[in-house]
Amino acid sequence: MPSVYIKTYGCQMNERDSEAVASQLVAKGYTLAASEHVADVVLLNTCSVRDNAEQKAINKMENIAGDIRKHRPNVVLGFLGCMAQSRGQDLIDRLPDVDLVIGTQKFHRTADYLDDIFAGRSTKIVDTAAEQGSEGTIREHLLNGSTKDKAKAVTAFVSIMQGCNQYCTFCIVPYTRGEERSRSIADIVAECRQLVAHGVKEITLLGQIVTSYGRRRSNSRESKVEGREPEIPQPSTLGSRLLTAKSPFVQLIEAVHEIEGLERIRFTSPHPKGYGDDLVEAYARLPKLVESAHLPVQSGSDRVLKLMHRGYTRERFLEIIRKLRGARPGMGITSDIIVGFPGETESDFGETLSLCCEVEFDNAYLFKYSPRKDTPAAAMPDQIPETVIEERHARLLETINDIGKRKYDAFVGRQTQILVEGPSKKNSARMTGRTRCNKIVLFDGAERHRGQLMDVKITRTGSFTLYGDPAVVGF
Ligand code: SAH
Ligand code: F3S
């Protein structure tokens, strides 16, 4: 059977989609290749969030077409995911070497389409259609020894929903991923149980806007399509008297929390707008829900937040942070921030800087604003010049790094629990684990420590990394 290499660009959801596709291909008899140079099929799973992510994938495909196809003309080339969805047939018009373009609701058809190409039934395939129920098709994991490392996976991502209805004015995701569609609690719990049975100890629940999990399409711009109403997940039967006040997302967390053998639960990404007290309270109540939160703020200026259509104010964001820290002292908090949104003044940017100093994020991912096709922000007046964006980005990065360094340095001398994930990618003599608050810890350990919850004493710090010494007797 042919071998396949999948290269992934972008977010954790894309990583998860690639893993599910790889697993579906393996189930059909395909093998996984170690690199594009030896593969019979090369698939690029793409990201559209910023222009440079798209350019990277296009350049890569051009190189592969020019280089690999020259020596091995029968190699099959394909684009998957967000850019495949937004550009469709255009990609083949522009890059005629490409055989396959598969959108975000059709990942599960990849194996069938490859079969068609290898059997000579089709040559060029483009499928970017919507498919009812596609949110339930990202469920397979690479756990059966199909790759060496995945065989012993300690952590896993589980996709709980697809799409987003928030329509932030800068964001292409609602167009590439479609309407919000949630899987049922029963379906998600069954997948998590299976993972735990294979030795997984930590699960991250994934979605573009997990705080909207299981809610009706209240922000939908499209009129309802007959028969396309998303399935409303079943409320947990494990409930308590508070059941009716709890959001479906908190009900889902509770149901996953019940799984015996599961040690840790994380999720990404929530939206401040839907961050109710029930979710804050879940942190105080559920010990497996670790003290770590990624909460994208995007800007510290109320004026910019409004232009972005974010649906909260700076004060509301700060209130959530205060409540989270009240519920769980030592909460690790990270965020996403956009620099240079159209119309952002020096004073608006100052508000973002001051918000970062006030919150003291453990880390934040900074994005230079990139105009995206058909999004309202791309047509807004006062687009910010590149040089100004660069300069603000550099200033904010320095602030984030300074705060991060202080926060990481404060761990030195402390004892903390980590979950050991495996050998470090950079130095296989070292093992790597993560604290409950999501900080990476490197230590001199051995393979037998994989999957263990272990206490380590932090001895020094690197860049957004901690170094530890096992503190347990009998190590
Ligand atoms: N809700 C999703 C957001 C996906 S996009 C999630 O957090 O998983 C990830 C981040 O990319 C956003 O939080 C935002 O900070 C950034 N981003 C999105 N569109 C952008 C654009 N047009 N330019 C720059 N950054 C952008
Ligand atoms: Fe994008 Fe805003 Fe949704 S950032 S993914 S439209 S919450």
Give the pLDDT confidence score for residue 216 in this predicted structure: 58
How are beta strands 415-423 and 431-435 bridged, if at all?
antiparallel
Q: How far is the CA of 270 from the centre of ligand 2 (A)?
A: 10
pLDDT of residue 475: 62
Contact present, 356 and 399 (Cβ < 8 Å):
yes
Give the Å distance between the CA of 157 and the centre of ligand 2.
20
Ligand 2 atom 1: residue of nearest CA:
171
**Which atom of ligand 1 has the smallest separation from the CA of 170?**
22
CB of 434 closer than 6 A to ligand 2?
no
What's the 171 CA to ligand 1 centre distance in angstroms?
6
Mutate which of 14, 172, 208 for ligand 2 pocket (most atoms within 8 A of beta carbon)? 208
Task: Give the HSE-up count for residue 1: Cα atoms under 13 Å, Cβ half-sphere.
Answer: 13
Q: Which of 12, 170, 209, 365 to mutate to test the pocket of ligand 1 (most atoms within 8 A of CB)?
A: 170
Structure tokens at 232: 């409303």
The verdict on the CB of residue 167 being under 6 Å from ligand 2 is yes
Residue (of 160, 152, 98) closest to 126 by Cα position: 98
Q: Is the CB of 171 under 6 A from ligand 1?
A: yes
| Ligand 1 site, residue 14, Cβ cutoff 6 A | no
C-alpha of residue 168 to centroid of ligand 1, in Å = 9
pLDDT of residue 234: 44
The widest CA-to-CA distance across the chain, in whole angstroms, is: 66
How many angstroms is it from 201 CA to the middle of ligand 2? 29
94 alpha carbon – ligand 2 mean position (Å): 29
Which pLDDT belongs to residue 244? 52
Q: To which residue do tokens 């039967």 refer?
A: 237
CB atoms within 10 A of CB 198: 15
Residue 41, SS3?
Answer: strand
Task: Name the CA radius of gyration of the chain, rounded.
Answer: 23
Q: What is the pLDDT of residue 237?
A: 41
**Best residue for ligand 2 mutational test, from 170, 173, 177, 374 (most atoms within 8 Å of Cβ):** 173
For residue 390, how many C-alpha atoms fall within 13 Å in the half-sphere facing its CB? 3
Is residue 49 within 6 Å of ligand 2 at its C-beta? no
Please report, in tens digits, the pLDDT of each residue of the chain (475 residues total).
999 999 999 999 999 999 999 999 999 999 999 999 999 999 999 999 999 999 999 999 999 999 988 889 999 999 999 999 999 999 999 999 999 999 999 999 999 999 999 999 989 999 999 999 999 999 999 875 445 545 589 999 999 999 999 999 999 999 999 999 999 999 999 999 999 999 999 999 999 999 999 995 433 333 333 333 444 444 444 444 444 579 999 999 999 999 999 999 999 999 999 999 999 999 999 999 999 999 999 999 999 999 999 999 999 999 999 999 999 999 999 999 999 999 999 999 999 999 999 999 999 999 999 999 999 999 999 999 999 999 999 999 999 999 999 999 999 999 999 999 999 988 888 999 999 999 999 999 999 999 999 999 999 999 999 999 997 655 6
